[in-house]
A and B are shown apart, each in its own frame.
Chain A
Amino acid sequence: MSLPPETGSADTGVIHDIGYRGYRGPRLGRGHATRALFTQSLRAAYGLGRSGKAKVLPMLVLAATTLPAAIVVAFALTTKLDDLGVEYAGYLSSVGMLVWIFLAAQAPVLLSRDLRHHTVPLYFSRPITRGDYVRAKFAAMFCAQFLLMAAPLLVLYAGALLGGMDVGDNTEHALYGLAAALLYALVPTSVALAIAGFTPRRGFGVAAIMGYLAVSAAVAAVAVGITRGTDSADAAQWTALISPDGLVESLVNELFDLGGGLDRRHAPGGVGTAVFALVAVALVAGSYRLLLRRYEKI
């Protein structure tokens, strides 16, 4: 027995019931709690800290969006191409469906669950305010979506650098890609969260978000498709306004002069770009305010 002498006889190794101990440590307040909620929600969006089952879908989607990028890189590297042959922003459009699935499945995870299980009042009985709650959830879903899209872009960019391709050109286009990812992570996400905030039932939330994104995108795509080569082709581009996804794609293509071919989606002209940008801002701000008002009532 080598008990340090200074601990004295009272401190033997036996654990007794020491009764209730108060907490004298720091209380870090609202800001800390909001950040903790953000981290927890971001992790939850990827199923981390939740059951194994909850990880399946987000991880599968993450793999599915990144894998094609890895294949493109592998192909380019083995055949020693001097160009990836894929536009960064364009890549995001082509995996758009996967990004929707992630959004439709996980936005209700962040909001509907708390509503369904009446956990929301527990949050509001703590230092954070309703605004803090909405802010944390909004930021978490935005980051989750952004990470989902940034991952394949990173793979493409790293591959391009590894293959000794033009650094300047690739950096420029990778930045366009990141800008697109930023917008995709903002606009459709806002709308999806606004929908999720009104449905305590997760299934309804998933169906409503997926339905809205898919139907609006389909309508816009069909309108562009059937008018291709006609005089009303430009006018048809306006239909992208009803689809958060199409809106972002059109805006990005026009801003960075990307995309090509007859089916190219773009904001029509200078006025069109301004209107598209305004609508994008309005969608984000409107959804955010709608959510805030929704939580004022709880």
Chain B
Amino acid sequence: MPRTAHRRYVECVSTAVIKTDGLTKRYPRVTALDALTVEVLPGVVGLVGANGAGKSTLIKILLGLAPATSGRGEVLGLDIATRGPEIREQVGYMPEHDCLPPDVSATEFVVHMARMSGLPATAARERTADTLRHVGLYEERYRPMGGYSTGMKQRVKLAQALVHDPKLVLLDEPTNGLDPAGRDEMLALIRRVHSDFGISVLVTTHLLGELERTCDHLVVIDGGRLLRSSSTASFTEATAVLAVEVTDHPDDHTLAPGEEVRGRLAAAGLSVQAEGSHLLLVRLAGEGTYDTIRDTVAELGLGLVRLEQRRHRVAELFTDAQDFSRGGADDVAAS
């Protein structure tokens, strides 16, 4: 019995945990997935899409629960069409909806789910105690789950997905219904699932803001198609914007400072957007942009109140989709 904590070493870090090739799922009336080709590497990966974008369908197909209409896919190197049971043995799944019987305690429930994953009875008990502690459930784990808060229920749902020590977990909207504090805790926990437990995570959400903080990589799908797949950093950096705030002119009060600066910066070839009379958003076009702004403001004799980088939010992804395909051509994985 090894007594020291051991960290799992993911064999071949560069191997994709999920790989799909032209994956298509057609229902009689809708096409849920449309030739989706994507590769997901180990880490915390966000699967972003509006409701009905095909996230849940993708998860179902990846678990080998529904056959794809065409195309192929692999999870942990196992073909989804033929090796469903093996995949499900090594993958954990946390559904979006409530799935906990109210008259059973968290311990009993998670032990049962561990056994359903093929763990022997004693191991199931040990792993349950460990896992519930890791997700932050202590004394209350012996009480019936009907009396749990939403946050506690989400923890139990996460615990049942982790109890068999999978190599990959699929988390469907894990922050649904949580208050801001509960959401932060859940996101921190999801980070730990990868950083401390060594388990890769695919997490879906339609709340984009929270993914920026949690995920290493984002996969964006819309209408069953891949919109973009790239690192979280490149999502935010590629479109960095500077916020520039200026004062009124000390003497000339007829001058509209924002308008004046905007005109000059535009003339200098920068992309500028006015946000109120004193605030401008300037797209960063290189190191020279800072100098241009500084000089322009100084020439006009205005005061520079603020010059800061404002990160482009992932939330702007959908309104700004065409910008991305222009700006980030290098990391668009869609073919």
* A25 CA to B122 CA, complexed, in Å: 11
**Mostly helix, strand, loop or mixed at chain B's interface?**
loop
Q: Contacts of B121 on A, CB cut-off 8 Å?
A: 36
B89→A20 contact, CB < 8 A: no
A117→B102 contact, CB < 8 A: yes
Q: Contacts of A129 on B, CB cut-off 8 Å?
A: 84-85
B93 at the interface (CB under 8 A from A): yes
A127→B118 contact, CB < 8 A: yes
A25→B119 contact, CB < 8 A: yes
Size category, B interface:
35 or more
B119→A122 contact, CB < 8 A: no
B103→A20 contact, CB < 8 A: no
A30→B85 contact, CB < 8 A: yes
Instruction: Tell me the minimal C-beta distance from B160 to chain A in angstroms.
Output: 7
Q: Contacts of A37 on B, CB cut-off 8 Å?
A: 116
B294 at the interface (CB under 8 A from A): no
Identify which of A18, A40, A118 contacts B4 (C-beta below 8 A): A18
A9 at the interface (CB under 8 A from B): no
B182 at the interface (CB under 8 A from A): no
* A60 CA to B214 CA, complexed, in Å: 54
Query: Which of these binds chain A: B25-33, B107-115, B221-229, B300-308?
Result: B107-115
B120→A28 contact, CB < 8 A: yes
B324 at the interface (CB under 8 A from A): no
* A26 CA to B165 CA, complexed, in Å: 12
- Fill in one digit per residue for B199-242: 1 if any A CB lies within 8 Å of its CB, else 0: 00000000000000000000000000000000000000000000
* A125 CA to B85 CA, complexed, in Å: 9
Instruction: Tell me the minimal C-beta distance from A36 to chain B in angstroms.
Output: 4
* A51 CA to B7 CA, complexed, in Å: 39
Q: Contacts of A119 on B, CB cut-off 8 Å?
A: 99-101
Contacts A23-B165, A27-B117, A127-B88 hold; do A117 and B101 have CB atoms under 8 A apart? yes
Residues 72-86 of B contacting A (Cβ, < 8 Å): 84-86
A126→B88 contact, CB < 8 A: yes
Chain A residues in the interface with B (C-beta under 8 A): 11, 18-23, 25-30, 32-33, 36-37, 40, 49-51, 54, 113-114, 117-119, 121-129
